[in-house]
Amino acid sequence: MNTNLKSLKPEALWRHFETLTQIPRPSRKEARIIDVVKKFGESLGLETIVDEVGNVIIKKPATKGMEDRKGVVLQGHLDMVPQANSDKDFNFETDPIQAYIDGEWVTADGTTLGADNGMGVAAAMAVLESKELVHGPIEALFTIDEETGMTGAFGLKPGLLDGEILLNLDSEDEGELYIGCAGGINATSRLKYKAVPAPEDCEAYKITISGLKGGHSGIDIPLYRGNANKIMFRLMRKAAIDYGLRIAEMEGGSLRNAIPREATAVVTIAKSKKADFENFVRDFEKTLQNEYATADPGLKITLTGADMPKEVMNEQAQRSFVNAINACPNGVVRMSSDMEGLVETSTNLAVVTVKNGTAEALSLLRSSVDSSKIALCEVVESVFDLAGAETNLDGDYPGWKPNPNSAILKEMKEVYKNKFGKIPEIKAIHAGLECGLLGGVYPKFDMISFGPTIRYPHSPDEKVNIESVQKFWDYLVETLRHIPKR
């Protein structure tokens, strides 16, 4: 296993990225990386600010002869999504990422890599450090908690930044420029239920859904991968009707912005129906494997014995909640009528738990059209209202409306054509970039998002293409040389 990332080009970017892999930085646990980046800026003798929420801002003056150029803000987020395979013993708060070179890619051993958004952060650090690059005034904005709540972008105050152009370094397809993104909102539905003694003369089982690819709940949602929560409750609804299944506890998914890869449930079945139930689960697994043969060929449903629980959900609450989960929207809701191939509206049934008298479901709803996002909220609220559950909405953040007449877009298209011989693709992304929030605080920003090619972000299969990193860097360097005058 080749772990020598410093042997890759561009050396400075990969060196900084390797440093980032050694610093635990899951969302809302960024204290160490904030301190490292702060000290990095100070060690360069550059003005370095840590604002009241933890964002780090480092300012670098223009190189000689470039003082009259528009100021550029290089922006990325410090946190990463913590996802590991179930057989991987890993603590994201203490353990370094085990990154290695795998052919044309860099990936990690059984965990997310953190290329999202470590690549952007490392690129900005390399720009700040360089004494050879030609550029106008540079400000690097490193935000916190992008992945779980966009806390850094929400908390950024006016007056801290002077730049007129924002280059967001958090996109995941080299050769594409993003000029818009979806907004999002969290919907948390909660049903309080009365637990009752487990039925007598029953057998207890643990059901495990595993082997799914998961992935980014925005970018990967049009791939129609399996959702472990939806699969689990589809199974449990059928088994409850035919075999008297009762739910003791259940847990599926872990992050609002990751398609859930795994789910487990402890259930009871009447002993008289034990054999029929076991046959049903085996047949159901084959059915689902056939359905997901292309999108999620690794799907597994495992049935093992479990200790008999003392209590289960009461039948009425169980029926209501199971039906609500089955009815809850999940996946692509609508494709854009304005931009071919773009998902307009979607939802991800991200986390579901049943335990200690509370059944809870967390969905992340996304749309590039605010009214569609609100309409989808109303659908989710209606579904769970029928089940007797209350739904709370929070974490609402705006989308970023595309500006096809952007001056920096025109300049960057020309730079890319001159550098690589073709025009980059112009797109909007069905994911929550921070541009919408940052543009609200600094309305003068002319914004573009771009980055190297990253595949399967928010999952343990995350990887970044090595060749694309070099092109991303070369493009960034050339763009900085061609920033227009004020």
Report, as residue numbers or ranges, the catalytic residues. Answer: 79, 146
Q: Cβ distance 409 to 389 under 8 Å?
A: no
Tokens 């609804």, located at residue: 237
What is the spatial distance between Cα 271 and Cα 244, in angstroms, rounded to a whole number?
Answer: 10
For the CA atoms of the chain, what is the radius of gyration? 24
Alpha helices in 130-247 (DSSP H): 151-155, 228-243
According to DSSP, residue 26 is labeled B
Candidates 129, 130, 156; CA nearest to 142 is 156
Which residues pair with residue 111 across a beta bridge?
A: 84
To 10 degrees, what angle do helices 115-129 and 466-481 make?
A: 40
What is the spatial distance between Cα 333 and Cα 327, in angstroms, rounded to a whole number?
Answer: 13
CB half-sphere exposure, 482, CA atoms < 13 A: 18
The residues near 340 (Cβ < 8 Å, ≥ 6 apart) are none
According to DSSP, residue 182 is labeled -
CB half-sphere exposure, 229, CA atoms < 13 A: 33
Candidates 431, 442, 406; CA nearest to 179 is 406
Provide the residue type at 401 as one letter: K
What is the spatial distance between Cα 291 and Cα 145, in angstroms, rounded to a whole number?
Answer: 36
Candidates 364, 367, 441; CA nearest to 401 is 367
Candidates 472, 486, 340; CA nearest to 412 is 472
Q: Cβ distance 155 to 55 under 8 Å?
A: yes
Q: Element (H or E) spanning 483, and its range?
A: none
What is the spatial distance between Cα 71 and Cα 381, in angstroms, rounded to a whole number?
Answer: 45
